[in-house]
């Protein structure tokens, strides 16, 4: 093999193929990138970790065709740091790379030991705009589980029904769903789950694609191939039935609030410093008449905080509502929405809360389960949320929240969104076991003095 190529073209295919390389390859040959140069001037780079294979091509001035497997990191680092036109010449497994200020010799692996590209049989073809696929991945990947013991949850589940498609992910605590329509119709429903890791790399490739690119998807029994101009990504599918998440999403909502996304995120961040370390719970009181959401942290031995943001309510219920939420989960959901405004939808303090973008490229939703509201929220707010410094800051002015009787068997505080297993047809949302009945409904916060000691032992 002997070829001359512009550094930027070679660097680009190497950096793409390198995305599939495992940092700790199970077989030494998998630490290599396979370079193939053919007589027509096409040069391809392939990287694989057996679960994921990336194959990408470019053009070069090929003098002698051939192939070579070279150490992926060394090759990519070296080519990324030279400039101008470079020459590759292979002889006896060694490749000499000559560039404008020097050269280097890399010793490669045996290219005939490199795994062949996986081929699926009788694939189903699906075409989707690259930008929409990317938006779907950005709207779902962050909710995939990182727990390898629930393997199917580490992926994103795709479903197609006639001309409708959806992508969904959940780790049991949070859930994301993106839906859209296809140009073609499919007579049989399609359902498959792609590993989150593979889709993470696909997302990087999609972000480099032209806005008008189409992703051609070939779905087979065990593998899926995503083809983009010059680049193919082939991934194994995840086996096992994905939990039926659609039934977890409420169909109607009593409350709907529109908020400015960044302002809400800043307020959450401000109160998060004083939220209790482990759970980081915020109580959000949605005040309909005041058109504001007030955020309270629990009073602890480090202190507490209250903050407020404006919102536009649209409700079928005229009573204010208080919901306890995990701040980190909520901020994470907001980070994966790109629109300026968001819509929060909910029904009861024990039922899932939905966060959606206002507009955007696709229908997108984020579901997060509420958290039990404990004693001691709203202490600092001894007057009203917008009042200036209250002089009443001594211990013993905590808000009383009456704990309801236990309604479910479990005693966990953060409940799982979906506990669906393969044999459970209609998974149920576990409701929080102990939920506060909030006393603040449509009027100002009620309070009764109690000592700190009493609160702690309650």
* Distance in Å, CB of 260 to its own copies, minimum: 12
Among 5, 282, 288, 309, binds its own copies (CB under 8 A): 309
End-to-end CA distance of the chain: 77
* Distance in Å, CB of 439 to its own copies, minimum: 21
Among 388, 402, 409, 423, binds its own copies (CB under 8 A): 388
| Backbone region of residue 268 per phi and psi (left: phi > 0; alpha: psi in -120 to 50; beta: other values) | alpha
Q: How far apart are CA 87 and CA 96, in angstroms?
A: 8
Residue 98 engages its own copies in binding (rule: CB under 8 A)? yes
* Distance in Å, CB of 112 to its own copies, minimum: 20
Q: Which stretch binds its own copies (CB under 8 A): 210-218, 245-253, 305-313, 438-446?
A: 305-313
Q: How far apart are CA 146 and CA 240, in angstroms?
A: 16
Among 237, 271, 353, 361, binds its own copies (CB under 8 A): 271
Rg (CA), the chain: 27
Among 160, 219, 305, 337, binds its own copies (CB under 8 A): 305
* Distance in Å, CB of 403 to its own copies, minimum: 24
Q: How far apart are CA 85 and CA 228, in angstroms?
A: 26
180: DSSP letter: E
x/- letters, 314..353, toward its own copies (CB under 8 A): ----------------------------------------
Instruction: Say how many CA atoms lie within 13 Å of 316 toward its Cβ.
Output: 7
The residue among 195 and 376 lying less far from its own copies, judged by its C-beta, is 376
| Structure tokens given for 357 | 């973008």
Q: How far apart are CA 38 and CA 34, in angstroms?
A: 13
396: DSSP letter: S
Residue count of the chain, please give it.
458
CA 404 to chain CA centroid, nearest Å: 34
Q: At which residue do the structure tokens 């909502």 appear?
A: 253
Residue 109 engages its own copies in binding (rule: CB under 8 A)? no
Among 24, 40, 101, 121, binds its own copies (CB under 8 A): 101
Sites for its own copies among residues 76-95 (CB under 8 A)? 77-78, 81-82, 87, 89, 91-92, 94
Residue 33 engages its own copies in binding (rule: CB under 8 A)? no
Residue 298 engages its own copies in binding (rule: CB under 8 A)? no
Pairing of strands 341-346, 353-357: antiparallel
Q: How many residues bind its own copies (CB under 8 A)?
A: 50
Q: Which stretch binds its own copies (CB under 8 A): 114-122, 135-143, 200-208, 270-278?
A: 270-278
| Structure tokens given for 158 | 């795709």
Residue 30 engages its own copies in binding (rule: CB under 8 A)? no
Residue 287 engages its own copies in binding (rule: CB under 8 A)? no
Q: At which residue do the structure tokens 């780790």 appear?
A: 171
Q: Which residues neighbour 59 within 8 Å (Cβ) at sequence distance 6 or greater?
A: 9, 41, 42, 43
Among the listed residues 65, 40, 51, 52, the one whose alpha carbon sits nearest the alpha carbon of residue 16: 52
x/- letters, 351..380, toward its own copies (CB under 8 A): ----------------------------xx
Angle at 25 between CA 24 and CA 28, to 5 degrees: 125
Per DSSP, which regions of 72-173 are E strands? 85-91, 94-99, 102-107, 124-129, 155-170
The residue among 222 and 386 lying less far from its own copies, judged by its C-beta, is 386
Q: Which stretch binds its own copies (CB under 8 A): 97-105, 185-193, 367-375, 398-406?
A: 97-105
Residue 208 engages its own copies in binding (rule: CB under 8 A)? no
* Distance in Å, CB of 373 to its own copies, minimum: 18
Residue 103 engages its own copies in binding (rule: CB under 8 A)? yes
139, 357 in Cβ contact below 8 A?
no
* Distance in Å, CB of 38 to its own copies, minimum: 20
Among the listed residues 376, 375, 317, 385, the one whose alpha carbon sits nearest the alpha carbon of residue 351: 317
* Distance in Å, CB of 23 to its own copies, minimum: 16
Tell me which residues touch its own copies (CB under 8 A). Answer: 71, 74, 77-78, 81-82, 87, 89, 91-92, 94, 96, 98, 101-107, 266-267, 269-271, 273-274, 294-295, 297, 299, 301-309, 379-381, 385, 388-391, 393-394
């Amino acid at each position: 093999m002997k070829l001359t190529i512009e550094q930027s073209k070679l660097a680009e295919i190497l950096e793409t193929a390198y995305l599939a390389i495992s940092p700790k390859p199970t077989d030494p040959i998998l630490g290599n990138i396979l370079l193939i140069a053919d007589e027509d001037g096409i040069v391809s780079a392939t990287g694989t970790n057996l679960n994921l294979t990336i194959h990408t091509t470019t053009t070069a001035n090929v003098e002698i065709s051939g192939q070579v497997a070279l150490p992926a990191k060394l090759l990519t680092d070296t080519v990324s740091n030279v400039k101008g036109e470079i020459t590759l010449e292979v002889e006896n497994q060694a490749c000499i790379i000559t560039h404008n200020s020097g050269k280097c010799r890399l010793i490669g692996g045996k290219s005939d030991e490199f795994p062949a590209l996986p081929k699926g049989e009788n694939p189903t073809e699906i075409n989707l705009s690259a930008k929409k696929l990317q938006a779907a991945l950005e709207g779902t990947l962050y909710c995939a589980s990182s727990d390898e013991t629930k393997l199917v949850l580490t992926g994103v589940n795709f479903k197609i029904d006639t001309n409708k498609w959806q992508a969904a992910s959940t780790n049991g605590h949070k859930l994301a769903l993106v839906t859209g329509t296809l140009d073609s119709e499919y007579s049989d429903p399609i359902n498959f789950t792609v590993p989150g890791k593979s889709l993470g790399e696909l997302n990087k490739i999609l972000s480099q694609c032209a806005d008008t690119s189409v992703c051609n998807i070939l779905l087979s029994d065990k593998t899926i191939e995503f083809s983009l101009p010059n680049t193919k990504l082939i991934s194994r599918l995840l086996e096992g039935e994905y939990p039926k998440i659609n039934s977890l999403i409420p169909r109607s909502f009593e409350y709907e609030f529109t908020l400015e996304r960044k302002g809400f995120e800043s307020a959450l961040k401000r109160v998060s410093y004083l939220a209790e370390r482990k759970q980081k719970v915020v109580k959000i009181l949605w005040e309909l008449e005041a058109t504001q959401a007030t955020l309270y942290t629990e009073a602890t031995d480090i202190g507490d905080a209250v903050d407020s943001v404006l919102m536009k309510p649209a409700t079928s219920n005229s009573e204010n509502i208080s919901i306890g939420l995990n701040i980190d989960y909520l901020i994470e959901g907001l980070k994966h929405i790109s629109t300026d405004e968001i819509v929060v939808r909910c029904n009861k303090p024990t039922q899932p809360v939905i966060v959606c973008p206002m507009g955007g490229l696709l229908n997108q939703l984020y579901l997060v389960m509420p958290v039990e509201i404990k004693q001691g929220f709203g202490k600092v707010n001894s007057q009203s949320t917008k009042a200036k410094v209250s002089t009443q800051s001594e211990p013993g002015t905590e808000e009383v929240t009456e704990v309801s009787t236990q309604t479910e068997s479990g005693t966990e505080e953060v409940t799982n969104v979906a506990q669906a297993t393969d044999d459970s047809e209609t998974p149920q949302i576990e409701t929080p076991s102990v939920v506060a009945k909030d006393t603040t409904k449509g009027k100002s916060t009620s309070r009764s003095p109690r000592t700190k000691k009493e609160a702690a032992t309650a």
